[in-house]
Amino acid sequence: MKYVDEFRDRGKADALVAEIDKLVSTIDIAARRPIHIMEVCGGHTHSIFRYGVEGMLPKEIQLIHGPGCPVCVLPMGRVDDCIAIAEHANVIFTTFGDAMRVPGSRKSLSQARADGADVRMVYSPMDALTLARNNPDREVVFFGLGFETTMPSTALTVLQAESEGIANFSVFCNHITIVPTIKAILDSPDVHIDGFLGPGHVSMVIGTAPYEFIAQYYRKPLVVAGFEPLDVLQSIWMVLKQIREQRADVENQYARVVQGTGNVAALQAISRVYELRPFFEWRGLGSIDHSGVRIRDEYARFDTERKFAIPNVRIADPKSCQCGEVLKGVIKPWQCKLFGSACTPETPLGALMVSSEGACAAYHQYGGFKKQAGAA
Amino acid sequence: MNEMPFRRARSLGKVNVPAVTLAHGGGGRAMKDLIDDVFIVAFDSSFLAPLEDQARFDLAELAVYGDRLAFTTDSYVVDPLFFPGGDIGKLAVCGTVNDLAVGGAIPLYLSCAAIVEEGVSIDMLRRIARSMAETAKGAGVRIVTGDTKVVHKGACDKLFITTSGVGIIREDIRLGVDLAHPGDAVLVNGLFGDHGAAILEARGEMALETPIASDCAPLHDLIATLLAAAPGARCLRDATRGGVATVLNEIAEASDVGIEIDEEHLPVREEVRGFCEILGLDPLYLANEGKIVAVIPPEESEAALAAMRAHHLGERATIIGWITDGEPGRVVMRTVLGGQRIVDMLVGEQLPRIC
């Protein structure tokens, strides 16, 4: 595949790894303790495991798989809300595929479908709108999920529904925003992160300016990274170079896609349709201020939360779940007491075990191979 | 005195309505007409014509083929019924023929049980039965017994077909999923993932410029060629549901060996790779209907590869990896990048990723 295979080239990967090895050997702190680099985005986590990137890195580098998997940070109560909506007799509940298996307190959407709810997988909110157009006597709900990456397409679908006057379509808005969450992680006392790989697709929408505080206030390097394995390796090298030079800057490795100013049209759609919520609940991380969006009053008729009575019950994560510590990089997935015993991809307790972007599922499925024996 | 001319008690019936109704499942004349018009005409088998409740075989005639009977069954519920490269009928014959052939059996006889939803068009049923008949003829098997049920609307999705198959295994063939041995080569007979991608595509989930065709094909002849070239073959499996990855895991587990495959050598069509990239799927887990995984001892691996490549259903055959003495039951892949990862069994269905 053109423009894809070039970014998976083994020879170039070997060369990059050699450069990373060389650079690490010149960084003082690496002699005393591992360098912690957090990849914020679930897409990176997937790529790292899919291509076995982690095992190619020197042992001094530890990757922390951050909170950027929207499915993984979905609290159980919200899944229960989805099921309550989906179980309305007249509702067609539409969702991205990954959300199907996320456990609620009683069941997942996939189990709700088996029990008779009309739950359908779609690839785009526009597909949900088409369903609404073709089923005027049914109420079609789209489960709006994801960071700024998927936010604009949901917003544009709402605008399209408005311009067509489609009355039987609404969005159950669970879109979340990444920047306050990075801040919450940095403020967390038990977290030690030396640098970040910034989310490429989110940055395509929001640009690179929103991360400046991480460099300026927290003095941590951040490199906006692409998703192919060579992108990831190069970005790691760029973070290390900043550490070596004792710089903390926002740099953009993914310049072929991300512009510093972001995507103006997408940002306009976002600000037209959504407003920030005062706070939003994250699985494992708790409530984070201004970390979620809801639909503005002007578009209230497309807001599922106002169209339906939603139970909105807060369900505490199972006590023994350590999703939060894994998300913050305090522990590695396999150090969780439940990993591989009570919590497996077949019977996930924590959402990190559900999506292939979740760190636990990735370790469980793809395994951890480290260069040195016994590290994983 | 004029004698009444002899009249056959029963001639082949004909259906004169466009669609199946519950009456066609009632056991009376309408049902006989449906079976005659759709299946008997297409299958045209001397076994079926007497309409006994069972097909009967002469054991001595079977024994000339070998010393063991192979018996298998499979149900086909594919949606849509017609897709690029095949239809449910072709699939139902190939699938069962292949299940026999991978055991080293010569496939001989099939059964065909159809569950039909009321409202299905008779013409469509005729097309599917003809497709089954043609595929069976091509595969050298005969459909010798069958059954038809009609269920009310909504009780099944248009048409489900179950085929069972009987074949005979030659005395000298010993294949088993538990026989893989470190050092053996792991081969596939060509590009994989086509069927799974074709079905997803045919459901209209992606509007592609070049539709991907299913690889649905009977593999008995390819397998016969392979076994002639590599008589020491350890194990053959058709990589249907769950794809190549699932078969590799089954072999690793049953044989208590490790398997290492090389991503660089995995034969996948560009269109299928692109399709999987966009949807966040992995071709290793996509279904195939014309692909086998073969475990061959090292000294026969080159001969096996050459034999497969000489066959029109194995032109793109490849050695994708090796059986190892690594962690038993574990399938490990060397990625294109040079890293390593585990290739595990799929947990449930493959779900597309969000972004």
- At the topology level, CATH places domain A76-176+292-307 in Rossmann fold (3.40.50)
CB contact under 8 A, A366 and B337: no
Q: What is the pLDDT of residues B14-26, one digit of tens each?
A: 998 999 999 998 8
φ, ψ (nearest 5 deg) of residue B118:
-60, 145
Task: Return the CATH superfamily for domain B22-169.
Answer: PurM-like, N-terminal domain (3.30.1330.10)
- The mean predicted confidence, pLDDT, of chain B is 92
Q: What is the pLDDT of residues B40-71, one digit of tens each?
A: 889 876 766 666 788 888 999 999 999 999 99
- Work out whether strand B159-169 and strand B105-117 pair parallel, antiparallel, or are unpaired: antiparallel
User: Does the structure show a pLDDT above 50 at A24?
Assistant: yes
- Nearest CA to A159 among A301, A293, A263? A301
Count of alpha carbons within 13 angstroms of residue B157, beta-carbon side: 7
Between the CA of residue A66 and those of A123, A178, A352, B8, B284, what are the distances in Å? 25, 11, 11, 79, 27
Q: Which residue has the higher pLDDT, A224 or A326?
A: A224
Q: What secondary structure, in 3-state letters, does B283-299 show?
A: HHHCCCCCCEEEEECHH
**Overall average pLDDT of the A85-102 stretch:** 93
Q: Which residue has the higher pLDDT, B119 or B355?
A: B119
CB contact under 8 A, B336 and A100: no
Residue range B185-342, CATH number: 3.90.650.10
Q: Which pLDDT band, with edges at 50, 70 and 90, does A376 fall under?
A: very low
CB contact under 8 A, B273 and A369: no
- Work out whether strand A91-95 and strand A119-121 pair parallel, antiparallel, or are unpaired: parallel
Length of chain B counted residue by residue: 355
Q: Which pLDDT band, with edges at 50, 70 and 90, does A374 fall under?
A: very low
Q: What is the pLDDT of residues B171-219, one digit of tens each?
A: 999 999 999 999 999 999 999 999 999 998 888 766 666 789 999 999 9
Q: Which residues of A touch B337 (CB under 8 A)?
A: 8, 10, 13, 51-53, 56, 229-230
Smallest CA–CA distance from B342 into chain A, residue: A366
Q: Which residues of A touch B338 (CB under 8 A)?
A: 10, 13-14, 52, 56
Smallest CA–CA distance from B272 into chain A, residue: A1
Tell me whether residue A189 is exposed, middle or buried, using C-beta atoms within 10 angstroms of its C-beta: 0 to 12, 13 to 18, 19 or more.
exposed
Q: Which pLDDT band, with edges at 50, 70 and 90, does B5 fall under?
A: low
φ, ψ (nearest 5 deg) of residue A370:
-110, 155
pLDDT attached to residue B1:
47
User: Does the structure show a pLDDT above 60 at A372?
Assistant: no
User: Does the structure show a pLDDT above 60 at B86?
Assistant: yes
* Nearest neighbour of A50 by CB, restricted to B341, B352, B355: B341
Q: Return the minimum-mean-pLDDT range out of A51-55, B217-221, B256-260.
A: A51-55
Tell me whether residue B325 is exposed, middle or buried, using C-beta atoms within 10 angstroms of its C-beta: 0 to 12, 13 to 18, 19 or more.
exposed
Residue range A5-71+179-260+322-366, CATH number: 3.40.50.11750
**Overall average pLDDT of the B281-293 stretch:** 95
Most confident by average pLDDT, A334-338, A364-368, B246-250: B246-250
Residue B178: how many CB atoms within 10 A of its CB?
13
Q: Which pLDDT band, with edges at 50, 70 and 90, does A330 fall under?
A: confident
Q: At what angle do helices B220-229 and B298-310 cross, to 10 degrees?
A: 140
Distance from C-alpha of A254 to C-alpha of A40, rounded to nearest angstrom: 15
pLDDT attached to residue A363:
84
Distance from C-alpha of B105 to C-alpha of B153, rounded to nearest angstrom: 39
Structure tokens at A10: 């083994």
**What amino acid occupies position A257?**
V
User: Does the structure show a pLDDT above 80 at A65?
Assistant: yes
Peptide bond into B80 cis (omega under 30): yes
Q: How far is B109 from chain A (nearest CA, A)?
A: 37
Interface of B with A in 270-329 (CB under 8 A): 270, 273-274, 277, 279-280
Does the beta carbon of B63 lie under 8 angstroms from any beta carbon of chain A? no
Distance from C-alpha of A93 to C-alpha of A120, rounded to nearest angstrom: 6
Q: Which pLDDT band, with edges at 50, 70 and 90, does A3 fall under?
A: confident
User: Does the structure show a pLDDT above 50 at B225?
Assistant: yes
Share of chain B above pLDDT 70, in %: 92
Length of chain A counted residue by residue: 376
- The mean predicted confidence, pLDDT, of chain A is 92
pLDDT attached to residue B13:
85
Q: What is the pLDDT of residues A112-170, one digit of tens each?
A: 999 999 999 998 999 999 999 999 999 999 999 999 999 999 999 999 999 999 999 99
Structural domain boundaries of chain B? 22-169, 185-342
DSSP codes, B295-354: EE-HHHHHHHHHHHHHSTT-TT-EEEEEEESSSTT-EEEE-TTS-EEE-PPP-SS-----
Between the CA of residue B49 and those of A269, B44, B128, what are the distances in Å? 68, 8, 20
Q: Which residues of A touch B266 (CB under 8 A)?
A: none
SS3 category, A300:
helix
The set of residues, in sequence order, having a beta carbon less than 8 Å from that of B347 and lying 6+ positions away, is A345, A346
Share of chain B above pLDDT 90, in %: 78
pLDDT attached to residue A276:
97
**Overall average pLDDT of the A252-273 stretch:** 96
Smallest CA–CA distance from B348 into chain A, residue: A346
Burial letters B104-132, b for 16+ CB under 10 A, else e: bbbbbbbbbbbbbbbebebebbbbbbbbb
**Overall average pLDDT of the B316-326 stretch:** 97
CB contact under 8 A, B352 and A97: yes
Same fold, A5-71+179-260+322-366 and A76-176+292-307: yes
pLDDT attached to residue A271:
97
Share of chain A above pLDDT 90, in %: 70
The A-side interface with B (CB below 8 A) comprises 1, 4-5, 8, 10, 13-14, 43, 46, 49-56, 70-71, 96-101, 110, 121, 123, 145-146, 149-150, 201, 229-230, 345-346, 355-357, 364-367, 369
Same fold, B22-169 and B185-342: no
CB contact under 8 A, A10 and B338: yes
Structural domain boundaries of chain A? 5-71+179-260+322-366, 76-176+292-307
pLDDT attached to residue A320:
85
pLDDT attached to residue A368:
58
